[in-house]
Amino acid sequence: MSSKLIRGTFILTLGTIISKIIGLFYVIPFYAIIGGSEPAALYQFGYVPYTIFISIATAGVPLAVSKYIAKYNALEEYAVGRKLFKSGILLMLITGILSFLIMYIFAPFFAEMSMNKADSPYTIAEVATVIRAVSFALIIIPVMSLLRGYFQGHQSMGPSAVSQVIEQIIRIVFLLFGAFFVLKILKGSMVSAISAATFAAFIGGIASLITLLWYWRKRKHHFDELLEHDKGKMQISLISMYKEIFVYAFPFILVGIANSLYQGIDQLTYSRAISLEHLGVLNFSTHKLVIIPVSLATAFSLTLVPLITESYAVGNRHTLVRQVDQTFQVLLFITVPAAIGLSLLAEPIYTVFYEHSKFGTDVLATYAPVAILFALFSVTAAILQGINEQRFTVLSLLVGLLVKLSLNIPLMKLYETEGAVYATALGYTATILINLIVIKIFAKYPFKIIIRRTIFILLMNGVMAVVVLLVYKLLTLFLTTDSKIQSLIIVIICGGIGAVVYGYMGLRSKLADKLFGDRLQRIKSKLHIS
User: What is the pLDDT at residue 77?
Assistant: 78
Sign of the dihedral defined by the CA atoms of residues 44, 45, 46, 47, in that order? positive
Burial of 452 (0-12, 13-18, 19+ CB in 10 A): exposed
Cβ atoms of residues 530 and 520 within 8 Å:
no
User: What is the pLDDT at residue 468?
Assistant: 96
DSSP 78-134: HHHHHHHHHHHHHHHHHHHHHHHHHHHHTHHHHHHHH--TTT-SS-HHHHHHHHHHH
How far, in Å, are 74, 152, 250, 297 from residue 388 at the CA level? Answer: 20, 21, 13, 20
Backbone angles phi, psi at 388, to 5 degrees: 65, 35
C-alpha–C-alpha distance, residues 72 and 216, integer Å: 20
When pLDDT is cut at 50, 70 and 90, the band that residue 3 belongs to is very low
* More reliable by pLDDT, 8 or 320: 320
Q: Is the pLDDT of residue 324 over 70?
A: yes
- Least confident segment among 99-103, 160-164, 237-241: 237-241
Cβ atoms of residues 435 and 381 within 8 Å:
yes
Tell me the residue type at 523: I
Question: Over pLDDT 90: what percentage of the chain?
Answer: 33
Cβ atoms of residues 276 and 121 within 8 Å:
yes
Question: Averaging pLDDT over each range in 49-53, 248-252, 391-395, which range is the top one?
Answer: 391-395
pTM: 0.78
Angle at which helices 78-105 and 107-114 cross, to 10°: 70
Tell me the residue type at 25: F
Angle at which helices 294-313 and 370-386 cross, to 10°: 20
C-alpha–C-alpha distance, residues 410 and 80, integer Å: 53
Cβ atoms of residues 34 and 190 within 8 Å:
yes
Task: Output b/e per residue, 66-90; b: 16+ Cβ within 10 A.
Answer: bbbbeebbeeebbbbbbbbbeebee
pLDDT in tens, 327-353: 888 888 888 999 999 999 999 999 998
Cβ atoms of residues 164 and 19 within 8 Å:
yes
Q: Is the pLDDT of residue 59 over 70?
A: no
Sorted by sequence, the CB contacts under 8 Å of residue 222 that are 6+ apart come out as none
User: What is the pLDDT at residue 11?
Assistant: 67
HSE at residue 189, side-chain half, CA atoms within 13 A, is 10
Tell me the residue type at 247: V
pLDDT in tens, 210-260: 999 999 888 888 877 877 777 777 777 778 777 777 776 777 777 777 887
- Least confident segment among 5-19, 60-74, 260-274: 5-19
Burial of 336 (0-12, 13-18, 19+ CB in 10 A): buried
C-alpha–C-alpha distance, residues 290 and 366, integer Å: 10
C-alpha–C-alpha distance, residues 68 and 65, integer Å: 5
**C-alpha Rg value of the chain to the nearest Å:** 24
When pLDDT is cut at 50, 70 and 90, the band that residue 309 belongs to is low
> Which bin fits 316, alpha (ψ -120 to 50), beta or left (φ > 0)?
beta
- Least confident segment among 95-104, 261-270, 447-456: 261-270
pLDDT in tens, 128-148: 999 999 899 889 888 888 888
Q: Is the pLDDT of residue 14 over 50?
A: yes
User: What is the pLDDT at residue 118?
Assistant: 47
Cβ atoms of residues 295 and 20 within 8 Å:
yes
| Other beta carbons less than 10 A from residue 189's beta carbon | 13
Angle of CA points 192, 289, 17, to nearest 5°: 95
pLDDT in tens, 449-492: 889 999 999 999 999 999 999 999 999 998 999 999 999 999 99
